[in-house]
């Protein structure tokens, strides 16, 4: 498996991967492929942090981190993460997250935030975001709103996470 930065020629394949990954997810409204289209056009987009996983020359997974602000600091939000159903549970999701974190650290971000399954993201190092003083701008179960400290020296942020308007929040 190879992980590399998404290119413009990948956009259609990535749309289909996201659609397929979320098609059986009960809490999804099916908006994830269009969210990625909107985020690519937004100020929050970081080209280095839209990554694809490739197996046998086919794109089988995608991850996007975009910029958010917390208390005046620019950090990252992971959303969405998609692995083609027939390739799930083989470590591709965790590999995409780990590569995104590596690039994010190199780029100088202190935190990545995620709203997601509290059984899954702790496997990638996420903890409840409240531990870092971060609060969601919407009502969610406390344990679903998580963050990872990418820079061990980072101070707690103590603020509400502000997402790009593309998220429609
Ligand atoms: C969630 C998703 C990205 C995980 O990708 P993946 O490549 O299947 O995950 P990995 O193989 O890297 O996961 C490894 C571990 O996570 C567990 N896991 C995988 N999917 C999980 C899920 N949905 N919930 C809880 N745990 C999960 C695996 O059992 C495995 O655990 P183990 O190592 O203790 O056995 C993928 O299932 C997917 O695309 N789902 C549909 C879209 C979605 O829900 N995206 C996330 C939105 S928050």
Mean pLDDT, the chain cut into blocks of 10 residues (169 residues total)? 98 98 93 98 98 97 98 97 97 98 98 97 98 96 96 96 95
Which pLDDT does position 124 carry in this prediction? 98
Which pLDDT does position 167 carry in this prediction? 95
Q: Which of 165, 160, 107, 111 lies closest to 138 in space, CA to CA?
A: 160
Q: Which of 1, 22, 88 to mutate to test the pocket of ligand 1 (most atoms within 8 A of CB)?
A: 88
CA–centroid distance for 61 within its chain: 12
* Residue listed under structure tokens 């083989």: 90
Q: What is the CA radius of gyration of the chain?
A: 15
Q: Which of 22, 89, 94, 117 to mutate to test the pocket of ligand 1 (most atoms within 8 A of CB)?
A: 89
Domain 2-164 has CATH 3.40.630.30: yes
SS3 126: coil
CB atoms within 10 A of CB 111: 24
Evaluate: CB of 25 within 6 angstroms of ligand 1. yes
Nearest protein CA to atom 19 of ligand 1, as residue: 89
Which pLDDT does position 29 carry in this prediction? 93
Confidence (pTM): 0.96
- Strands 127-128 and 45-55, sheet pairing: unpaired
Evaluate: CB of 117 within 6 angstroms of ligand 1. yes
Tens digits of residue pLDDT in 18-51:
999 999 899 899 999 999 999 999 999 999 999 9
Nearest protein CA to atom 36 of ligand 1, as residue: 83
Which pLDDT does position 27 carry in this prediction? 87
* Residue listed under structure tokens 């917390």: 70
CA torsion sign, 165 to 166 to 168 to 169? negative
């Amino acid at each position: 498996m190879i992980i590399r930065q998404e290119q413009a020629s990948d956009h259609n394949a990535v749309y289909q991967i996201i659609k397929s990954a979320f098609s059986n997810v009960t809490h999804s409204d099916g908006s994830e492929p269009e969210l990625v289209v909107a985020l690519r056009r937004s100020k929050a987009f970081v080209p280095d942090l839209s990554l694809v996983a490739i197996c046998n020359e086919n794109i089988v997974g995608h991850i996007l981190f975009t910029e958010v602000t917390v208390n005046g600091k620019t950090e990252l939000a992971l959303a969405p993460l998609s692995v083609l159903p027939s390739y799930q549970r083989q470590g591709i999701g965790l590999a995409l997250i780990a590569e995104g974190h590596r690039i994010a650290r190199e780029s100088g971000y202190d935190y990545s935030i995620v709203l997601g399954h509290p059984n899954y993201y702790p496997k990638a190092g996420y903890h409840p975001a409240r531990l870092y003083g971060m609060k969601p701008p919407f009502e969610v179960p406390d344990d679903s709103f998580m963050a990872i400290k990418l820079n061990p020296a980072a101070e707690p942020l103590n603020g509400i996470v502000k997402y790009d308007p593309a998220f429609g929040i």
